[in-house]
Chain A
Amino acid sequence: MTEPTTGPAPFADATQVSGTGDVVIELEGVDKLFGDFQALRGIDLRIARQEVVVVIGPSGSGKSTLIRCINRLEKHDAGRIVVGGVELSDDIRSIQGVRRETGMVFQSFNLFPHLTVLDNITLAPRQVRRMPRAKAEAEAMELLERVQIPEQAHKHPGQLSGGQQQRVAIARALAMHPQVMLFDEPTSALDPEMINEVLDVMKELARDGMTMMVVTHEMGFAREVADRVVFMADGEIVEVGTPEHFFTAPTEERTKKFLSQIL
């Protein structure tokens, strides 16, 4: 988290990181095509350790595609993506390595309905990191405490509210001790009264120093928590800045237009 700054945009482009940590995610010249439609155009982006980067933009701008390329849920067609020092290629081992170090939280939670909350969280650590059950469950309970719903441990996702489910989803992603947490519109599918409980958890996470990349429409969150705000439109990064700069004095036309529509 940085102090407020004034003056011209402190980030000339998205490859300049805030803070002093080493670079965790690097995208260079990334393109993505769906048939004839170009979803991503020449994306250059760097994210450093402990940075919180919020990506905003109109629908269809490619934000979701971008974040899904990072853990290879989508395959990029050109350019390089390097996560935690490992370059994403067709080699399945590199992909699995990247997926182990990234945690993802989805808009529609995607909890496993046939497993209890506890089993949802411990599934990956036990299967992938070969953790013994007792240890996995103890850590899972700690995570549930952290997201403030330890009493739900033995319920099934179908018995929980949306906000509770999303918090479990966050705990599930954290259980793998990832280096980076990726959030794809985590609150867009929630009823208004439940959005805050999830945002509070995400703010805690940021305060504790997690590297986060968040695609969202929640401008309040961006203003409060983000180190950098990235604005995307038509598949490219249009503008980057600190929240203060961004919301008070954006430079690009498209940015101004978008902000005027939503603020």
Chain B
Amino acid sequence: MLAAVAALALWLAGNVRANARATNIPLSYDYLDQPAGFPIAGSSFRQTQSTWDAIVVGLGNTVRVSLAGIVLATIIGTFVGIGRLSANWLVSKAAQVYVELFRNIPLLVIIVFTYLAVFLRLPRVEDATTIDGLLVMSVRGVAVPWLRTDGRGLTVLALLVAAAVVAYAVARWRHGVADRTGQPAYAGVAATGAAVVVFAVGLVALGGPLDLTAPRLDDRRIAGGITMGIEYAALLSALVVYTASHIAEIVRGSIQAVPKGQTEAATALALSPGQRMRRVILPQALRVATPALGNQYLNLTKNSSLAVAISYFELTKITQVAIASRAPAVPSYGLLLLIYLVLSLVISAFTNAVNRRMALVER
């Protein structure tokens, strides 16, 4: 059988070479150094920059939308998953409908819908929907308040780090107090509070290097804040809505997978429902859920490639445009596949490492 596989591989390679020669398209990767010849909307990329630079921009966009998608989908999915188990019939049913609805509709349909039927329907810039100082929504994009530094960006960063260190120290201190006296630690609240205080004091002491700019409609421009392109917004919304429904099922399943006896033992020990969830159920549920969650994150990252349908310039779209601008197809796709493989491997390795660390210690 091995011989058959080898023969097949040789035949395919031979065909590729013959075809390449016939159509005069080189099979090398020289094209990466050539000027791209196409612009990338929504970025500062210029046509004269190399194709390789374009691909890097695409990779950056893929990572951007995937990371944001993973974070948002996990948050929303967890809430919906826990809501599905609520004793309140209305909440439980609503969660169920949400999950059953979006699990069964193809992602591409959702993406095309959010783009064409939702975000492209936003009003023109002149008539943008505004919430004073908070939101400016138009066909140009969604603008939200953003922070801007006056050049002392590094100092602000140092301040952030300092605040984080203080938060950690406060949390440790509160845990120590709790151990000694038995009173609840409230470490989270204390640490956050301390961090905020340190950061605020630092900002004032430095004379306010940080500025919150709110988006304003200024004639036909949007001044201030930061604007999210509608392609990005549409893709992100669709990815989040779809993946969250899968994550909700995983969360629900993992909580239900924790044996009933665990809840009973925790109840018999007079732990409150909150203590039960936090100390007994969720830690065990998380262990069950990790592989499945990792799989969903992998899927979300791969699904970001569906952006080709709506002109968001992530990796796949840029490759497609490059090929249309005369880059050779086979090497381009080869490179694309390679990059996705690497991304997959990275996410898988990360998931496996987390899984191993959390595995229940057994005989």
Contact = CB atoms under 8 A, between A and B. Distances in A.
Given A113-B284, A127-B279, A176-B270, A156 B180 contact: no
Nearest to A96: B270
A125 B363 CA distance: 28
A172 B269 contact: yes
B44 interface: no
B188 to A, nearest CB: 16
A210 B182 CA distance: 27
B127 interface: no
B360 A156 contact: yes
B130 to A, nearest CB: 47
Contacts of A123: 269, 271, 279
Contact of A158 (B264, B267, B360): B360
A84 B145 CA distance: 59
A159 B361 contact: yes
A132 B279 CA distance: 17
B272 A96 contact: yes
Given A113-B360, A114-B287, A130-B183, A100 B262 contact: no
A128 interface: yes
A71 B360 contact: no
Contact of A99 (B178, B182, B269, B363): B269
B363 A134 contact: no
Contacts of A158: 360-363
B131 to A, nearest CB: 41
A221 interface: no
Interface in B218-273: 259, 261-262, 264-272
A104 B271 CA distance: 13
B290 to A, nearest CB: 13
A108 B261 contact: yes
B261 A124 contact: no
A92 to B, nearest CB: 9
B349 to A, nearest CB: 23
B181 A100 contact: no
Interface residues of A, number: 36
A73 B262 contact: no
Contacts of A106: 261, 264-265, 268
Contact of B268 (A71, A108, A134, A135): A71
Contacts of A172: 269
Nearest to A104: B268
B362 A134 contact: no
A100 B269 CA distance: 7
Contacts of B268: 71, 73, 99, 102-104, 106, 173
A110 B265 contact: yes
Interface string A62-79: 000000000101000000
Contacts of A104: 265, 268
- B183, B265, B268: which has the most chain A beta carbons within 10 Å? B268
Interface in A163-221: 169, 172-173, 176
B275 interface: yes
Contact of A176 (B259, B262, B269, B363): B269
B208 interface: no
A159 B362 contact: yes
Contacts of B198: none
B60 interface: no
Interface string A119-148: 000011011111111111000000000000
Contact of B262 (A96, A112, A133, A135): A112
B153 interface: no
A46 to B, nearest CB: 22
B33 interface: no
A126 B175 CA distance: 12
Contacts of B275: 127-128
B175 to A, nearest CB: 10
A128 B271 contact: yes
B87 to A, nearest CB: 14
A96 B270 CA distance: 6
Which of B180, B265, B284, B363 has the largest count of A CB atoms less than 10 A from its CB? Answer: B265
B363 A124 contact: no
A132 to B, nearest CB: 4
B283 interface: yes
Contact of B261 (A110, A126, A173): A110
Given A130-B183, A132-B182, A134-B180, A100 B265 contact: no
B85 interface: no
B294 to A, nearest CB: 19
A240 to B, nearest CB: 26
Nearest to A124: B269
B270 A100 contact: yes
A127 B270 CA distance: 9
A51 B216 CA distance: 78
The 4 closest A-B pairs by CB, nearest first: A110-B265, A133-B179, A158-B362, A99-B270
18 contacts: A99-B269, A103-B268, A106-B261, A106-B264, A106-B268, A110-B261, A111-B265, A112-B265, A113-B284, A123-B279, A130-B182, A132-B182, A133-B178, A133-B182, A155-B361, A158-B363, A159-B363, A176-B269
Given A158-B360, A159-B361, 10 more contacts: A96-B272, A104-B265, A110-B259, A111-B265, A114-B284, A127-B279, A128-B271, A128-B275, A132-B179, A155-B361
